Amino acid sequence: MKVNTDGVLLGAAATLPPGFRSVLDAGTGTGTIALILAQRLEDAPDAGILGIDIDLASAEEAAQNFGRSPWAGRLEARHLSLSALDNESGQYDLIVSNPPYFDASLPNPEERKKTSRHTSEDGEELSYRTLIRFAAGHLSSEGRLSMILPSSVETALLRYAAGFGLYPGRLLRIRTVERKMPLRLIAEFTKERTPLQEETLVLRNENGYTEEYTTLTGPFYISLK
């Protein structure tokens, strides 16, 4: 599984209020989001980050990437589904995920890509619904759930989260270019109602990547042009 723009955006943009100590990256894949968060949390040496994935090869690859990073001591990868983790005790200050999102399309014939890209009614696989249900029981009192999803699910997402007592604290709508409608949405939820922060991020303009995009993600790329 390759590094993708969605994962980099979520890792770079997810809110990290002071005091976050326990982080879960659900569906970690290569571990990109977890690694970006570890870099951002360099000044919080006590923060621990757990990346889980139902795909064994992905979990093993994430573990290798974690072990080769400067933050190996705070990163852990486990071959585990979210539903299995739900049976364990423990709370998280931040839960992040770039979950499967092709809800209504034909499944990918390659099984690993199918699992990573498509939602399923099987509780073993990720969807924003399973993430919300998990977060309702495992977020700390001041914790935050942060996901990147297609913008088209915004209304259904907010309605479903409200049913589990999770409230939107931040909505970052992502446009590829200014003239187009948002393609992606980074949505963050908390257990307490807070003033909603609404933002827009444009990725490209006539000169290439926008300054706001390069400022946000530049620290995590070797080069970005």
Mean local confidence (pLDDT), 105-129: 52
What CATH number has the domain spanning 5-214? 3.40.50.150
Mean local confidence (pLDDT), 210-224: 90
Q: How far is CA 158 from CA 153, 155, 188, in A?
A: 9, 5, 10
Mean local confidence (pLDDT), 110-132: 60
pLDDT at 111 over 60: no
Which residues of the chain form beta strands (DSSP E)? 22-26, 48-53, 75-79, 92-97, 139-150, 167-175, 184-190, 197-202, 204-205, 208-209
For residue 223, the model assigns a pLDDT of: 67
For residue 122, the model assigns a pLDDT of: 39
Secondary structure (3-state) at 91: coil
pLDDT band at 101 (very low <50, low <70, confident <90, very high): low
pLDDT digits (tens, 9 = 90+) for 20-56: 899 999 999 999 999 999 999 988 878 999 999 999 9
Task: Please report, as a single letter, which amino acid is at residue 95.
Answer: I
pLDDT at 224 over 80: no
